[in-house]
Structure 1
Amino acid sequence: MVSRRTFLAGSSAVTAGGFGVFQALPAAASDNAANALAEVSRLLPSFGRPGRLHYGDVSKLSGGDQTLLTTLQGVVNRTRPELYFLFNPGGPDGPDAKWLADMRLATTRYNDPLDLVAKYRHRIRGAIVHDPAVPDSLNVATTLAGLEDAVVADADQAKAHGLRIVKDLRGVFDNDRVKTYRWQLENLFPRCNQRLLTGLPPTMVVQAENVDWQEIARETRQLRDSSNRGFYDLDVSAKLGKEAVYVRFGDSFRDDGWGASVLSVSVKANGTEIARFLPDTPEEAPYLFEGANSSIGGEGNRFADGGNFWVYRFAPPAGTTSLVVTVEMWNQYLVTATDTAPTRIEPFPFFRDYVVASKALVSWLPPNGPTGELLTEHFNKVGPTVPYAGWFSNDVAGEWSGVDLASQGGSPVIPADFYMNGTVHSGLVAPISTKVRQVRRITPKNKVYVTLTFGEGDNVQYCQRRMRDMWDDPRRGEAMVNWTISPLLAEIGPGLFSYYQRTATANDLLICGPSGAGYTYPGSWPADQLTAYLELSGDFMRRTGMDLVYAYNHRDESGWVAFPEEIAQGYNDHTPLQGIIQSWEGGDLLVRRGGLPIIGNFGAPGKAAEYKAALDAHIADWDGASPRFIACGINAWGWTPSDIADLAPLLKDPYELVLGNTFFDLLNRVL
């Protein structure tokens, strides 16, 4: 995934202690959706139906100015959505612009979006000033902005826009993250929305413009078995002359997820060693310029797959003419170097409109160690099935431990840290059909039945951005594929869900993303709370016409754990599911439990030809005496519908490609 996410409280229109109105969506106009939506209490907040939208392109603004505007958006849109921003660099062809056009609302464009601060100054009390020296103060400022009807700004912004300072956080906190967020939990949470927790990074890494990266080393073979492991001398002398040299490690084959892996680093300037360290140690820290998009492996190695990378910064003594970095490295590495600082740190602006408008508490607590213990206290403060929206630090490792911690606390996760204009999308009225797609029934034969599924659908920002880009691929519909999607879009983005549902071809099937109503690991839930999550999932699946799910369970030291009988029975009892595709590396799981067929997903690297070769190897032991079933997971960040269209013609006899509903119809008849 990027490589990710109550209930039933009161009536369909609830005012929660000044937290804004959580109301049922107005009636939809398709099938029985009107009654279905009107009768179900909301899990997530809505801020009214948008009318005229004042909008502008903020993609060229700094993160600080974007934060100022998104927090303004949160205060203004809480009453009724009026502000919308284009964050994407794609301009008129980007997702933000496309969704705005699809809404068919009256709009007013502002060439300088910062003019909107003056226009709406009368709607805010002033500014909460964060402390640039303490990044986490920006999250505290965001929480306070929601409570105080204010925007988040630094001191210079407040002065430039003539904003009264409501609260000045400069000098209030130090860089003790646990102490900062404990103060917030104890002093601000009692005033906050008790039905939503959020997690956002306070800062982001922004790529600098016009950086010249020189290739230093590349693995040209697709190797994933560490067979090229060795010590490599990387001569980066060509980039000497300025203050420092920046060395980036990435993936030479970005579509299959086996990038550079490094276990040790030493650096010599003019033959004299100036640095030696192992990844993920205190000795590495002074040199790790950018590491958020990399992970730590089982040997303590640092690695980055796909589009991810990390950067080391080395500042040799003045007069250095030779700089050589020696690394123990393997797999599909791509090493480049530059003499220009490739990134800068800015405030992280995204999703803050939704946080401010809902008056939610926002934190950023890595889910291990003392910060993880404090995050657990957050989950313990709220009731079962109260969602956690945003994300976790430390990439994939943070995902696994963070989602597991949330699951133990009874909170489904909504990956939403890059979800933009949520206050607008949540209030849009759009028809969502409750009808389940009719199954194309076929007679079982002794074939290999294959169904292909794009992952990542639990991730609402993926549904908003990457999925829309893929959906617009002109070759979509040429071949059958399942698309995971979040049923929670029925509340946080009904227009998005409606668009995909209405424009799906006969070869596109929407199925529920992990693992129901929000990303979670059911096996990690407290036993007495899991039924509430499954009931919630059943409600959302019925509201969105879905009866299949891609799901995770939980992990132990050996990997993913198969759903036990009792959890499968819970899904069968409380949801409309016909079957479950379970995340399962290797694809060798196929059982019937709780009355449901459960099959593990099969995955392979590369594109069409390599994927087909992996399938052939996977079925080499099949005797052809009975049907064989393979649920293929497709990398949503690396593949497109064009790639699916390339793969489909290769799946000739004994393969037969089918949609997920036909696949599980067959399984239910033969398993």
Structure 2
Amino acid sequence: MKGKGKIISISLAVILVAAVSSYLAWPEKKEGVSWPSKQALPTFQAPAETLDLIYTTDSYYYQAENEAFGHDTGKADGDGWLAEAGSDAAGKAMLDVTGRKEIPAGEIKAAFNMQVDNFADEDGVVATLEVRDQTADAVLASMEVRNWDFRLPNASQSFELSFNAPGEGHELEFKVLWTGKSTLKLFDVGVFWPLRKDENLLFTSLKGVVNQTKPRIYSYTDNVRGSTGTALLDDLGLKYAEVKDNWELLNKYRSELKGLIVYDDQQPDTINLATTIAGLKNAIVAPPSLVDKLTGAPYNLPILEDLRGKFNSKLEVYGYLYDHYWKQTTHKAIVGLDPGIQSYLRDYAMGMDAAVVWLNPADEGESALLDKFLQDMPYGTGLYLGWWPDEGMGVKKTSDYGLATVASDFSSNLSVLSGTSRSITMPKVPVKPKLENKVYVSFILSDGDNLQYMEHAFWNVWNTPNRGEVPLGWTISPLMVDTMPGLLDYLYKNATPNDAFVSGPSGVGYTYPNFWEKEDGLDRFIERTNDYMKQAGLNVLTVWNYVKGEIKPEVAEKLAKHAPSLLGFTSQFGTGTIGVYGNSMPGQELNVAYGSAESDLTSGIADGLEKWDGKSPSFVSIQANPWQVSYQNFINAMNLYKDNADVVFVRPDVYFQLMRESKGLPVTP
């Protein structure tokens, strides 16, 4: 019996070692991607000297403000091209886009997005829209736009032209001829065709193969910033060359491709399975609609795996992924991505050999299958990138397994940005004011933990002309150190003394620490958070949702013990309650959590003033979301109290320094 017991114990040890090694087996370096053991996410090589800029928008957009296009009248006007009646030359082209070769043969639709300044008393032609085949010197479609065709003044409206494109060998022209009758603003021209989404998936996966050796392809995926989608590249000093026809890149990089993984358009989740396999095999994801073109001349790409007709359900797809490919992928991270999202994040997932899934914890069968993946991942350090069908249930699920969610499903270019320089220069924190019996107010803008937000919508707020007027804490992710270090350095270099950066929830990923059951795993997560926050120059943490839960009521004590570099932290609930933990760290439940209007800012301050006894310092911390609260709302709220000498607005880091002093703690941890 003793011998048998010994054999069992050895077998258990072997199983344990195998389980541990399964998620540590991913090499620290894979071609051009390095992933040191202590690094949360991998680093790609430095981007090429000149990047290929491709468009993977659902529509191909020509931004009117792009100086590369022809303009015979009017001027740039922030987010479009403006021709003003009475001052600009009439009868000339306010936009002339020529030599376009990327439009395929077939039925195409062009949408001209414009606005008129006001309604005219008399109707008349404002502009003529035209699509021409320059090669054949033929007009393919045209339209006269009249004053009364606009439904509202100063509101964007789309005018569509349908045409039959001749295809390969023909160059097209898109022109807006302005008559001078009314002031007109042109935003862009969008071109749509049926296979556009299929092509976007194809070229995003091509980027996944190419960039894992050295980032050479950059995607423009939306219209959020600038006139050409290159503002981020310009800010980082990265050079680029626009690719007029994405198909040119298949010829350019053909030697790096092993072949095709064909998905089944009757089972959309095979897109995620195909992405996973393509990352492992240096292949591209092929839509069924493009297989003949890809396997024929001049590309002649072989089919490595054809997923058509293999699966009857979503569970079968991901069960197959688990049984056949999960062991080959990294277990340090997994990607959750809706199959309908085709132009984002897949290149990054492929570069780090991650499994891509879309499983809903609310569905019993999907939840059980998801458990099989998550239980194989390292408790305390594993990450789930992308997003969930339901935020709360998803974050709770990863928390149960000692993992953190990294919102990133619409991240466009992490395979390029993660290769930028990791040299980050942080400015000094302003000297805190003398502690007095005042009401100190700190504003925080949420959602910066979301990597896609940092690539896209964040810039609408950051580029506000009057940024710096109000002390504001901008939440960001400490994981920017790995995923976009050059961008983090740019933010620090362009910050005003009133701009402070704080960590979004809940450190190195969004998690509910109260649901973590394993002590040592939670300790590792907090220690890693502490390390990454130091690397990112952050010393204030945002915790979602709270630190006094039923399962782990001592989370705050653990933060004090394992994240000693922090000045303090905020959590949710809206009570404003302050506690001191481990006799060393203050934490505050926000007075206003995730405010959605300017009134939330002002009422939060008013409530703090009402509760203040006037005999000791008081602290009011207000967080608002960027989707409903603008930078101007913060300024307005501050100005409402500008004549009240009892109210002092400070950055979150200075705020916690003052709070520490008021509690008899060292101002510097």
Deviation digits for residues 589-621 of structure 1 (CA, Å, limit 9, x no counterpart): 221122211111133755435631453245433
**In structure 2, what residue type is equivalent to 1:45?**
P
> Letter of the aligned partner of 1:543 in structure 2?
Q
Q: Is the 8 A contact 1:587 1:630 kept in 2?
A: no
Q: CA offsets per residue over residues 257-316 of structure 1, 9 Å max, x none? A: xxxxxxxxxxxxxxxxxxxxxxxxxxxxxxxxxxxxxxxxxxxxxxxxxxxxxxxxxxxx
Does the 8 Å CA contact 1:431/1:498 hold for their aligned counterparts? yes
Matched, 1:363 2:351: no
1:54 pairs, out of 35, 52, 55, with 52
- 1:290 counterpart residue number: none
Q: Distance in 2 between matches of 1:640 and 1:136?
A: 38
Matched residue type, 1:590: I
**Cα distance per residue 1:157-187 (max 9 Å; x no partner):** 1222333222111111122x23321221121
Decide whether aligned partners of structure 1 residues 15 and 198 sit closer, same or farther in structure 2, where only a CA change above 3 A counts. Answer: closer
C-alpha distance in structure 2 between counterparts of 1:429 and 1:495, whole Å: 5
The equivalent of 2:281 in structure 1 is: 148
Which of residues 302, 306, 310 in structure 2 aligns to 1:168?
Answer: 306
User: What per-residue deviation string (whole Å, max 9, x for no partner) do you get for residues 56-81 of structure 1?
Assistant: 22222533211111110010111111
Matched, 1:463 2:460: no
Judging changes above 3 Å, is the alpha-carbon distance between structure 1 residues 180 and 372 closer, same or farther for their aligned structure 2 residues? same
TM-score (ref. length: structure 1): 0.69
Give the one of 549, 555, 570 matched to 1:581. 570
Q: Name 2:325's counterpart in structure 1.
A: 188
Name the CA distance, whole Å, in 2 between partners of 1:380 and 1:522.
Answer: 17
Give the C-alpha shift of residue 14 in structure 1: 10
- Given that 1:14 and 1:23 are in contact with CA atoms closer than 8 Å, whether structure 2 keeps it comes out as no
Residue equivalent to 1:283? none
**Which sections of structure 2, spanning at least 5 residues, go unmatched?**
1-19, 61-195, 296-300, 664-669
User: Distance in 2 between the 1:452 and 1:91 partners?
Assistant: 25
Asked if the contact 2:608/2:620 (under 8 Å) is kept, the reply is no
Counterpart of 1:192, as a letter, is T
CA distance in 2, matches of 1:418, 1:496: 17
Partner of 1:242: none
CA shift, 1:567, in A, is 3.9
Show the 5 A alignment for 1:164-563: 164-175=302-313, 177-204=314-341, 348-368=342-362, 369-394=364-389, 398-433=390-425, 437-525=428-516, 526-553=518-545
Alpha-carbon distance in 1 for matches of 2:559, 2:468? 34
- The residue aligned with 1:239 is none
Q: Which residue does the alignment assign to 2:587? A: 598
Contact 2:225 2:460 in 1 (8 A): no
Distance 1:124 1:504, change over 3 A: same
> Structure 1 residues 437 and 378, CA, compared in 2 at 3 Å: closer, same or farther?
farther
Q: Does 1:74 align with 2:208?
A: yes
8 Å Cα contact 1:54/1:107 also seen in 2: yes
Cα distance change, pair 359–476 in 1 and its aligned pair in 2 (3 A): same
Report the secondary structure of 1:407's partner residue.
helix
Q: Give the 3 Å change call, closer, same or farther, for CA 670–105 of structure 1 in structure 2.
A: closer
C-alpha distance in 2, partners of 1:647/1:574? Answer: 33
Which residue in the other structure is 2:260 paired with? 127
User: Once the two structures are superposed, what CA deviation does each residue of 1:453-497 show, in whole Å capped at 9, x if it has no partner?
Assistant: 011121111111121221111111011100111111111111111
Distance 1:101 1:17, change over 3 A: closer
Q: Deviations over 1:401-448 (max 9, x none)?
A: 211211221212211101111111111115313x57435222332222
Question: TM-score with structure 2 length normalisation?
Answer: 0.69
Alpha-carbon shift at residue 643 of structure 1 (Å): 2.4
How far did 1:583 drift? 2.1
Report the structure number with the largest CA radius of gyration: 2
* 1:89 pairs with one of 199, 216, 223: 223
In structure 2, what residue type is equivalent to 1:182? Answer: G
Q: Is the 8 A contact 1:142 1:352 kept in 2?
A: yes
Of 417-426 and 406-415, more deviation after overlay is shown by 406-415
**C-alpha distance in 2, partners of 1:18/1:510?**
31
Map of 2:653 onto structure 1: 661
- Count of residue correspondences: 494
Structure 2 equivalent of residue 216 of structure 1 = none
Residue type at the aligned position of 1:598: G
Change (3 A) 1:166 1:132: same
Work out whether residues 530 and 562 of structure 2, in 8 Å CA contact, stay in contact via their aligned partners in 1.
no
Q: Deviations over 1:496-546 (max 9, x none)?
A: 111111111000001111111111122222222111111111111111111
CA contact 1:23–1:42 (8 Å) conserved in 2? no
Distance 1:571-1:69 versus aligned 2 partners, 3 A rule: farther
- Structure 1's 494 and 482: CA in aligned 2 closer, same or farther, altered over 3 A? same
Residues 449, 656 of structure 1: 8 Å contact kept = yes
Cα pair 1:473 1:640 within 8 Å, conserved: no
Which residue type is aligned with residue 218 of structure 2? Y
Secondary structure at 1:405's aligned position in 2? helix
Q: Letter of the aligned partner of 1:141 in structure 2?
A: A
Cα displacement string for residues 355-387 of structure 1 (whole angstroms, at most 9, x for unaligned residues): 111111010011232222222221111212444
Alpha carbons of 1:390 and 1:15: their partners in 2 closer, same or farther (altered >3 Å)?
A: closer
Identity %: 28
Please give the secondary structure, in 2, of the residue aligned with 1:656: strand
Q: Tell me if structure 2 keeps the 8 A contact 1:553–1:562.
A: no
Confirm or deny that 1:111 pairs with 2:101: no
Contact 2:26 2:329 in 1 (8 A): no
2:42 aligned to which of 41, 45, 51? 45
2:161 is matched with which residue?
none
Q: Aligned-residue CA RMSD in angstroms?
A: 2.7
> Which of 8, 11, 23 in structure 1 is aligned with 2:34?
23
Distance 1:568 1:65 in 2: 52
Change (3 A) 1:589 1:22: farther
**Secondary structure, counterpart of 2:366 in structure 1:** helix
**CA contact under 8 A between 1:426 and 1:491: conserved in structure 2?**
yes
Q: Distance in 2 between matches of 1:15 and 1:565?
A: 34
CA 1:21–1:77 in 2, change beyond 3 Å: closer, same or farther? Answer: closer
Separation in 1, partners of 2:489, 2:470: 22
CA distance in 1, matches of 2:551, 2:543: 10
Q: Secondary structure at the match of 1:203?
A: coil
Q: Is 1:620 aligned with 2:617? A: no
- Number of the residue aligned with 2:231: 98
Residue ranges of structure 1 left out of the alignment (5+ in a row): 1-8, 25-38, 205-347
Q: Distance in 2 between matches of 1:474 and 1:543?
A: 29
Work out the CA distance in 2 between the residues paired with 1:580 and 1:429: 29
Query: How far 1:15 moved relative to its partner?
Result: 6.9
**Distance in 1 between the 2:368 and 2:604 partners?**
42
For the residues of structure 2 that align with 1:514 and 1:613, how far apart are their CA atoms?
Answer: 24
Aligned residue identity for 1:423:
S
